Amino acid sequence: MSQNLYIILLLPLGGFLINGLFGRRLGDKTVGVLGAGVIGAAFAVAIAAFVELLGMPHDSRIINPTYYVWLAAGELKIPFGLLLDPLSGVMILIVTGVSFLIHIYSIGYMHKDPGYPRYFAFLNLFVFFMLLLVLGDSYPLMFVGWEGVGLCSYLLIGFWFTDDVKATAGKKAFIVNRIGDFGFLIGVFLIFSVFGTLTFKGVAEGASVFNGTPALAFWMAFGLFVGATGKSAQIPLYVWLPDAMAGPTPVSALIHAATMVTAGVYMVARNAFLFALSPAALGVVAWIGVLTAIFAATIALVQNDIKKVLAYSTVSQLGYMFVGCGVGAFSAGISHLMTHAFFKALLFLGAGSVIHAVHYAHAHSGYHGDPQDIRYMGGLRRRMPTTYWTFAAACLAIAGVPGLSGFFSKDEIIWKAFANGQPVVGVTALIAAGLTAFYMFRLLYMTFHGEWRGGKGQFEHIPESPKVMTLPLSILGVLSIIGGWVAIPHILGGGAWFEEFLKPTFHSAEVLLAHTGHPSLAAEYSVMGISIIIAIAGILWARRWYVLHPEIPKRLAARLKGLYKVVLNKYYVDEIYNFTFVQTTLALADGCWNYFDTPVVDGLVNGTAAVVGWCGGILRRIQTGLIANYALVMAIGAAVLVGWMVWK
């Protein structure tokens, strides 16, 4: 298996080619089975590779086959090589496993869509590029995957491209990510100029003996992190991700849970040895992460679109992952990446199940409303029990309720912030955790509890989703409960298996960081207890406001009308960006067109053509086509020539 890792890449690539070229001839059933089947096969191969990795000695779990020289320029030779170690091993299981469930779900969700073959082709291509990003053993290979998932996000977010809003959302995602990618490239150029290589192994070896300035170390790491802020939607480049809700809901689950948005976190973790050279860069990562976490959480408090709540939740949870990396707890950050993949995929697919059912009810009752507005839902647990219970499990997990997956990963990040000397970051993360519990249970209660608030006669038409959609929900529900058990810390009687498994990958970074503090068990128990109390308080707070006394939030919104409007409109960040960047760029483009392109560039081109035309007009008068005229000119020329010779 060690030499055949490329099979994991070829399977989704093959699915893309077959469905992309022949999908319309194959029929929807074959397209769906093929699209999901190749990802299921890739998942099986990933499991086999992971098992082989587990069978290797703890400190030498690396499989690094090289197939051929991919890029060659002078002394620079970049091989096409793949890297399977504990970090990429975890990632390929997450990517293929969660993507497989999303593909199965898509068979039911996208049924009868006219773009069905194109959808599965793009979905397979997305998984291929994400796997290339994760398995590539060099920066150029990672960058190909990095750009590939950006391209696929554009294709899938704007999948229904005849709708201008959806097409614009796809373009926005593509453009914002290109801004971050510029920083990524600058970081890679600096890395090559310092270390003379672009393989992860070579750069890691160079970093272990790095003797450059702190400023140089900072700018290398910071350049990479700018790329991560774009791909993983952190301040200030997070604005594309909420608009990405324009795509089909399974696409939202794929982008937000298992693939694209986790790429930035993975990239920072993969370069832990580089970030460890600059505590200042790690500080930037931690602070951007925690500020994004609490900023996005406040916006999610008042959103009414079921997918927009989850979108801002994703932005916030990604912030937690960066906090983990920023405080040097890389294993905790990846642990939260894994558990988040389970419960966030479940939340999005559960939201898709709700939208699917409400849209069906709209079509059969003659009511025309927004099937995503939670203000016009309620009581759905009675009509959609499987969707409700799985959605509730995901809400409990993301809220950090003890025993569920999110509790172990999120609390580990918060604790590491305190333990590694960043208490302000830890306190801010605790506040964001309370807000998370509140807005997620606000969503649960408004959607599934109480009475139906939509159109009359509509509630009876709401169906539970078909088995092809509820089966992935059930599997993800189980994973949302038990998925974090591999990371149970020693303090709770666990073996911290996940942290120990990843330790060889982050060993060099931990040596450089050398956290010397040894906080007491009492301190760790205290932080854990506070976190649990805050989570439970958030849940009870949401229940009081949205189940027992639903008039309270309405009164509060009326009393704080100005603040409510600002938060509801996402602090007007999109409007500010539009005014300062978009409109300025358009005005500059118009100015260049009116005052430089048209009069100068076009003027020179058109002027040159006019001069040539004028000269041609003069010469055309000489070229009359009459032999007598030509003979006369020749005679005059000969006479002038003879006269000149005589005169001379």
DSSP assignment of 385-420: HHHHHHHHHHHHHHHT-TTSHHHHHHHHHHHHHHHT
* Euclidean distance between CA atoms 391 and 640, whole angstroms: 101
Domain boundaries, the chain: 278-568, 575-647
Q: Is 197 left (phi over 0), alpha (psi -120 to 50) or beta?
A: beta
Count of C-beta atoms within a 10 Å radius of residue 430: 20
Give the separation between CA 327 and CA 203, rounded to whole angstroms: 22
| pLDDT tens, position by position, 251-277 | 999 988 877 899 999 999 999 999 999
Whether the CB-CB separation of 199 and 270 falls below 8 Å is answered with no
Phi, psi of 373 (to 5 degrees): -90, 115
What pLDDT is stored for residue 174 in this prediction?
Answer: 93
pTM: 0.91
pLDDT in tens, 359-394: 888 777 666 678 889 999 999 999 999 999 999 999
Residue 519 is predicted with a pLDDT of 74
Predicted confidence at residue 570, as pLDDT, reads 94
The amino acid at residue 373 is D
**How high is the pLDDT of residue 515?**
60
Q: Which residue has 């609490």 as its token pair?
A: 294
The pLDDT value given to residue 292: 97
| Separation between Cα atoms, residue 642 and residue 648, nearest integer Å | 10
Which has the closest alpha carbon to 249: 89, 418, 384, 123?
123
Q: What angle do CA 224, 228, 230 make, to 5 degrees?
A: 120
pLDDT of residue 517: 59
Query: What 3-state class would DSSP assign to 493?
Result: coil
Segments of the chain scoring below 70 in pLDDT: 1-2, 365-368, 514-518, 648
CB 222 within 8 A of CB 182: no
Written as one letter, the residue type at 92 is I
Mention every residue, 6+ apart, whose C-beta is less than 8 A from residue 179: 230, 237
DSSP strands (E only) in 481-585? none
For residues 411 and 215, give the distance between their C-alpha atoms in angstroms, rounded to a whole number. Answer: 33
- pLDDT tens digits, 578-623: 999 999 999 999 999 998 988 999 999 999 999 999 998 887 777 7
pLDDT of res. 494: 80
Question: For position 628, what pLDDT does the model report?
Answer: 80
The 10 Å Cβ neighbour count of residue 614 is 10
